[in-house]
Amino acid sequence: MRLQAQNERLDKFASVVSHDLRNPLSVARGYAELARETGDDDHFERIDEAHDRIERIVSDLLVLAREGDVLGETETVVLSAAAESAWQSVDVGGDAESDDGTPTLVVSDEATFEADPDRLRHLFENLFRNSVEHGSRRASGRSAPGDSVEHGSASSRPAADDAVEHGSASEATASDGLTVEVGALPDGGFYVQDDGPGIPGSDRKRVFERGFSTDEGTGLGLAIVDEIASAHGWESRVAESAAGGARFEFAPVSE
């Protein structure tokens, strides 16, 4: 059974590599030909963009390859601390001219649970990048839910009933920027939600599939999230947040 599972993983990787890398390689080749024919240096920028996309795909594939189905050492982690640490690794556009557009993290719970700290960090980082990259559309007006699917400063920790905020805005509701919230579920799991464009219902069953994306993302970030959750024995669920954005829930699988 283990050998069969490994073969299935290899088949999936081969499919993603052959499909997802072919397109940016073709784009780079096409613009290279145009650059030779026209001598226009602008084409080199598009070649660089294609190469950057290839690099992101390869990086995500390496993470997927390392995740696997078996966990190493786990320990008790604090939900807020894990989320805050991962947020610091995500580019939230802090160098923007206006603070109003800077995404904000709100952690509303100090719950603890058993997890592999490194893998949990990867899970949060991918979810945060997903929200930040596509939630930035709000800066020029809220886009339709179907526009996209794939969607980092810590202060002293407050009491368990308080919310922890990170970002340029002191009050999440006072900022026009994206708000990402992390909290505990009643069943012992946790959620990550935002007030961005959201994910249309027709796409929610497919968001964790490798290679599935409705924009220029790698289509692997949420697949990595699901792999990590499965390795921990958690069920991954996607829904709509109260603000109309994306909401991801991770709950222990019932026996």
CB 127 within 8 A of CB 225: yes
pLDDT at 219: 58
Q: Is 167 left (phi over 0), alpha (psi -120 to 50) or beta?
A: left
Q: pLDDT: is 235 or 24 the higher one?
A: 235
One-letter-per-residue 3-state SS of 53-94 = HHHHHHHHHHHHHHHCCCCCCCEEEEHHHHHHHHHCCCCCCC
Task: Give the torsion sign (CA, 215, 94, 83, 74).
Answer: positive
Structural domains of the chain ordered from first start: 2-67 (1.10.287), 75-252 (3.30.565.10)
What average pLDDT does the structure give for the chain?
Answer: 74
Predicted TM-score (pTM) of this structure: 0.66
pLDDT at 56: 72
Does residue 65 have a pLDDT over 80? no
Does residue 240 have a pLDDT over 80? yes
| Cα 187 from Cα 228, distance rounded (Å) | 19
Does residue 35 have a pLDDT over 60? yes
Does residue 109 have a pLDDT over 50? yes
**Picking from 74-78, 80-84, 175-179, 183-187, which range would have the lowest pLDDT averaged per residue?**
175-179
CB 182 within 8 A of CB 85: no
Does residue 90 have a pLDDT over 80? yes
Neighbour tally for 7: CB within 10 Å: 10
Does residue 158 have a pLDDT over 80? no
pLDDT at 108: 79
pLDDT at 194: 94
Convert the pLDDT of each residue in 172-206 to its tens digit: 343 468 999 999 999 889 999 999 988 877 777 87
Convert the pLDDT of each residue in 121-151 to its tens digit: 889 988 998 888 877 554 444 443 333 344 3
Structure token digits, residue 101: 């557009």
pLDDT at 142: 41
